Structure 1
C-alpha cells in the first residue's frame, strides 16, 4: 500500500457495515460456500517472495531485480496451472515496470470479474505483508480455481500490479490502456492490499459510504461487492468496519473509470483503538502493522489468523460473484393457461376469422399429412389454441376466413430491465398455404403496437411442433403493456393451426 500524498483518513469513526444496508437482498441468502484456501499454501508463497527479496538486495521494488523475479515466479505457477498470462510493461522513474495479467479460460468475457493486488514492495524491505500477503492470497485462490477445473459464469482475470508504491502506476497504466469496450466488459474489481497485518483489523472497502467518513461511495455496484465480503466475515463471526476509497491502493484507477470495486484490508500505519482491540483482539494504541514500509516487513510480520481468514474471504467472493450461477430472473408475469386469467379474443373487434378463433382449452389432436393441431401442451392440460376441437376432418376447426387475435390484460412492467418475453408456440399448415398465412406476436404499448415475431406460411406442408421464442421488452420498461398473438388464414382453402403455451415476462 502506497504512502498517501495527503493526510490519511483515520478509521476510528468507521462503523460496522450491515449487509442489509448495502444491498436490497442479503447475498448470504443465495450464497455458495467458497473453498477453504490452505494457509500453508499461502505462506509457502510468502516464503518464496522473501527468498527472492533476500537474493536481490532485500527488496522487490519497482525497477529492481527482485520485482521482475517475483513476476516470473508467479507467472510460472500460473502458466503451469493453465492460465493465459501476459506481462504488460510500462516505464516510470527511468525504470521498466511490469503488470502480470492472468486469464482463466471460459466465462462471459463481456462480464469480467477482476481480482488484483500489487506485487511490488518499497525499497526499504521485502514487503511481505505489504503486499506479499495480498499477492500470495489471490495467487492461491487462482490456483484453487484451476485445481477444481472451474467453469465460471463470468470471466475471471487476476492481476498483480507493478509500481503501486510509486503512486498506483501499474494499475493506472492498465486501465488507461483499455479501450472503452474493454473497460465496459469489467463488471467488478476486487483489490487486496495488506491482508495479514500483525495487529490485524478487519476492514472492507465501503462501497456505499455507509460509514460516512467522507471519501464517498464507489461506483454503482460497489455496495454489492462490499456486502459479499461482509457476508463471509459475518458467517464466521467476525465483525468488520468500513474503510474509505481514499486513493491509497489499486482500486483507484478502476473506480475513476466507473468500475465497481471492493476488497479487504487489515490495516497499515494507523493505530488500533481500544474499541477495535476489544472487538478483534490485538494491542490498542499500536499500529496495525508496526513494520509498515520497513525492513522488518518479513515473513515474521504476518498474522496467520488474519491471512487465513482473508484468503478464504477472497475465495468466497470469487465463487459468489464469478463462479456460481447468477440469480434467476425475477418473474413479472407467468401464465400456463391452466386457469382463466383474462385473455380476450378479438379485443379490438376487428377479427375476420369465421372459424378457429383463439380459445383457452384442452386441445384435441388433428392430423393431415402429419400433426396439425397438437393434442399435447408444453405444461399442464390447457393452452391457447385456434379452435381446440378436432372434428371429423383436420380442417373442421382450423382458422378460416382471415385473422383471429387474443390479447393479454394490461401488465405493468418494472421501470428497469432487462425485460424479456418468452413463450412456446407452433404454426402448422398444409401445402395449400402461402406466405399470406401467418402466426405473430406483438406488444401494445404507449406508442402503438410493435410486432415482436412473425412466422409466415408457405406453399409446403408444415407440421406442428412446439418451439420457444423470446423477445426483448426492455424498451417498454415502466409502461403498461399488452401482449397480442395473431393467427391468419388469408390463403384460399388453406389449413392453418396455431398454439401458444407458457407465456412469461421476466426481469434480469
Structure 2
C-alpha cells in the first residue's frame, strides 16, 4: 500500500481518468446460481509468501519496481497461472526510467461482456521484501485463482486476475492498465476486488465502504460498490468476525477503477495507523500499537504476518469471487458457533452453551445437532435438537460422576440438509480434593470480556488481556511485565512515549472472566495484582476484584489509591470461595481513575481456583 503522500500526488494527477462510462452496476447472481467457495489453504498461501521472501533475499532484499526482485516475482506468479490453465500476459510499462509489468490472467469461460476482476499489487518498497505489503494480498489472490482452476469452476461472469506493478510509486501499473483499456473493454468490467495488506500482525478487519454508510471521506464508490461491500461483510458476519468500514482514500489500486466508474471493494487489515482501545475490544490485538509496525520497513518479512487474519481474508476473497461471479449449482450454507466456546465443571455437574447458526448463502435449511466428546465421558444434549439455519439452541454438557479430571473437546456437528458444519467446545473437568478448578495465566484467551455491561466510563487505558510493556515515570515503575509468561490483565498494555499515554483515565474500566462452575467442597481463589500511581492519586482511585454469583457478590480485593507515590510491585492475594461452592461464578476486575486526573495503572495475573 502506497504512502499517504504518494496517494495525494496520485489522486491529483489522475483527474484525466475520471471519464464517464457505460458500466452498469454490479449485479450479484441469484442465490440459485451461487456455488459455495472452497476453503483456501493457509499452508498454500504461506508457501507463496515463502517464495516471495526467497526472491527478495536473492535480489537485494526487496521486490521493488525496476529491481530484479520484482521481475522474479512476476515470473513466479505467471508460471503458477500458466501451469493452472490461465491465459496470461505480462503488460509492460515504463516509469522513472525503469521497466515494470502487470501480470494479467484470464480464466477461460464466463460471459466476456460481464468481467469480474480481482487484483493485488505485486511490488514492495525498496526498503524491504514487502511480505505483508503486499505479499499477503498477492499470495491470497494467487491461491484463490489456483483454486478456481482446481475446482474447474464455471462462473457466469468471466474472471480476470491482476497483479500490479509500481503501486508503491503511485498506482502506476493499475493506472496504466485502466488508461490503456479501450472504452468498450472497460465497460465490460463489472466489478474490481482489491486486496492490499491482508495479514497485518496486529490486524483489524476493514472493508471498503462502498455505500458510504460511514459518512466520511470520499463518499460512496460507483454503483455496485455497495453490493460488493455487503458480500464481504456477509462472509465475516458468518464467521463471527466484526468488520468496520475503510474509506476509498486512493491509497491502493482500486483508485483507477472507481475513477473510471467501475464498482470496487475489498479488505484491508491496517497499515501504520494505531489500533484504538475500541478496536482492540472488537478484534483483540494490542491497542496503541500500529496494525503493522513494519509498514514500509525492512522488517516486513515472512514473520510479519498474522496467520489468522491471512486465513480469514483468503477465504473472504474466494467467497467474494464465487458469490459475485455466480455459476455452478446452488449451495445453501450456514455458519455454526458456540457462545461461550469453553467452560469448566466438576464430575456430577453440567454447563451450558448457546449454539448459534447464521445463513451465509442461499436459503434456510433444517439442521440436526449432535455432539461427541474426545476423550469419551461427558455427554451433550440440545434444546431443541433440530433447528432452522439462522436459529439457535441451548447445549447442556453433562459430566457424569466419576469422570476423570482433564480437558475434553466436545465436537458439535450441525447436520444440515445441504451441508454439515462443526464447532468445538473445550471443557475443563476438575477432580478430587487438591485439584485445580480454574487456572488462567492469561497466556491464551479463555473468554475474558472487557466492559461486559457496556457501562464503563474510562476514556483511555481500559483493561485488556495483553502483553504489558514496562513503563516508568522518573524512578517510579508504573507498569510491569506479566507476573508469569508474557500476558496479563492490564490497563493499557502499551508503554507509549510517556508514562501517561496509555494509563487509565477518565473513570472506570472493567474486565470479566468466563463463567466458572464451582464444585462442592472447600475452595480457594488466588491471584497476583498491583496498583501503581503517582502522588496525584486520591482515595477515589482503586483496583477491585469481585466474585459474582447468581445470588450476590463478594469483594475479594479493594486496593484504594492515595496521595503518595506507589510503585508497581506484584502482590499475592487469596480468598475463601467455599460459600460459592456448587454455583457458577465470574471473577470481575475493575479499576478507576475517579478523582483528579491521576496517573493510574493496574494489573492482575495468574488467577487460580483450587479445591482442598
1:38 maps to which of 41, 44, 61: 41
- 1:5 offset after TM fit, Å? 2.0
Q: Which is greater in Rg?
A: 1
Instruction: Call closer, same or farther: CA 1:165–1:6 in 2, change over 3 Å.
Output: closer
**Alpha-carbon distance in 2 for matches of 1:307, 1:120:** 18
Instruction: Call closer, same or farther: CA 1:130–1:6 in 2, change over 3 Å.
Output: closer
- 1:152 offset after TM fit, Å? 1.2
**Alpha-carbon distance in 1 for matches of 2:7, 2:137:** 24
Match of 2:133 in 1: 130
Instruction: Call closer, same or farther: CA 1:166–1:326 in 2, change over 3 Å.
Output: farther
**Alpha-carbon distance in 2 for matches of 1:212, 1:122:** 32
- 1:33 offset after TM fit, Å? 3.0
Q: How does 1:196-345 map to 2 (within 5 A)?
A: 196-324=199-327
User: 1:28, 1:231 within 8 Å by CA — same for their partners in 2?
Assistant: no
Match of 2:2 in 1: 2
**Alpha-carbon distance in 2 for matches of 1:211, 1:65:** 41
1:73-127 Cα shifts (integer Å, max 9, x gaps) = 1100100000000000000011001000000000001000000000000000000
Structure with larger RCO (C-alpha < 8 A, sep 6+)? 1
Q: How does 1:94-493 map to 2 (within 5 A)?
A: 94-324=97-327
**Alpha-carbon distance in 2 for matches of 1:326, 1:284:** 44
**Alpha-carbon distance in 2 for matches of 1:128, 1:29:** 38
Match of 2:58 in 1: 55
Secondary structure of the 1:5 match is: helix
**Alpha-carbon distance in 1 for matches of 2:134, 2:311:** 15
**Alpha-carbon distance in 2 for matches of 1:67, 1:106:** 30
**Alpha-carbon distance in 2 for matches of 1:29, 1:293:** 44
1:26-81 Cα shifts (integer Å, max 9, x gaps) = 99898653210010000000000000000000000000000000000110010000
1:162-217 Cα shifts (integer Å, max 9, x gaps) = 00000000000000001110000000000000000000000000001101112211
**Alpha-carbon distance in 2 for matches of 1:77, 1:265:** 25
User: 2:198, 2:310 within 8 Å by CA — same for their partners in 1?
Assistant: yes
User: 2:111, 2:157 within 8 Å by CA — same for their partners in 1?
Assistant: yes
**Alpha-carbon distance in 2 for matches of 1:54, 1:79:** 25
**Alpha-carbon distance in 2 for matches of 1:57, 1:76:** 22
Instruction: Call closer, same or farther: CA 1:25–1:261 in 2, change over 3 Å.
Output: closer
* Greater fraction strand: 2
Instruction: Call closer, same or farther: CA 1:202–1:50 in 2, change over 3 Å.
Output: same
**Alpha-carbon distance in 2 for matches of 1:28, 1:216:** 29
Q: Given the two structures, how large is their TM-score scaled by the length of structure 2?
A: 0.50
**Alpha-carbon distance in 1 for matches of 2:7, 2:275:** 17
Secondary structure of the 1:106 match is: coil
Secondary structure of the 2:311 match is: helix
Q: CA RMSD in A?
A: 2.2
**Alpha-carbon distance in 2 for matches of 1:326, 1:183:** 29
**Alpha-carbon distance in 2 for matches of 1:241, 1:30:** 29
Q: Given the two structures, how large is their TM-score scaled by the length of structure 1?
A: 0.60
**Alpha-carbon distance in 2 for matches of 1:124, 1:288:** 19
Instruction: Call closer, same or farther: CA 1:6–1:147 in 2, change over 3 Å.
Output: closer
1:244-300 Cα shifts (integer Å, max 9, x gaps) = 000000000000000000000000000000000011010000000000000000000
User: 1:52, 1:60 within 8 Å by CA — same for their partners in 2?
Assistant: yes
**Alpha-carbon distance in 1 for matches of 2:183, 2:27:** 30
**Alpha-carbon distance in 2 for matches of 1:282, 1:53:** 28
User: 2:3, 2:251 within 8 Å by CA — same for their partners in 1?
Assistant: yes
Instruction: Call closer, same or farther: CA 1:158–1:246 in 2, change over 3 Å.
Output: same
Aligned residues: 314
**Alpha-carbon distance in 1 for matches of 2:166, 2:329:** 35
User: 1:219, 1:255 within 8 Å by CA — same for their partners in 2?
Assistant: yes
1:426-455 Cα shifts (integer Å, max 9, x gaps) = xxxxxxxxxxxxxxxxxxxxxxxxxxxxxx
User: 2:28, 2:324 within 8 Å by CA — same for their partners in 1?
Assistant: no
User: 2:32, 2:329 within 8 Å by CA — same for their partners in 1?
Assistant: no
Could you tell me which runs of 5 or more consecutive residues in structure 1 were left unpaired when the two chains were aligned: 9-22, 328-508
User: 1:150, 1:323 within 8 Å by CA — same for their partners in 2?
Assistant: no
Secondary structure of the 1:80 match is: helix
Moved over 4 A (4+): 23-32
Instruction: Call closer, same or farther: CA 1:48–1:263 in 2, change over 3 Å.
Output: same
Secondary structure of the 1:121 match is: coil
**Alpha-carbon distance in 1 for matches of 2:7, 2:30:** 35
Could you tell me which runs of 5 or more consecutive residues in structure 2 were left unpaired when the two chains were aligned: 9-25, 331-612
**Alpha-carbon distance in 2 for matches of 1:316, 1:6:** 32
**Alpha-carbon distance in 1 for matches of 2:329, 2:191:** 14
User: 2:35, 2:326 within 8 Å by CA — same for their partners in 1?
Assistant: no
Instruction: Call closer, same or farther: CA 1:78–1:7 in 2, change over 3 Å.
Output: closer
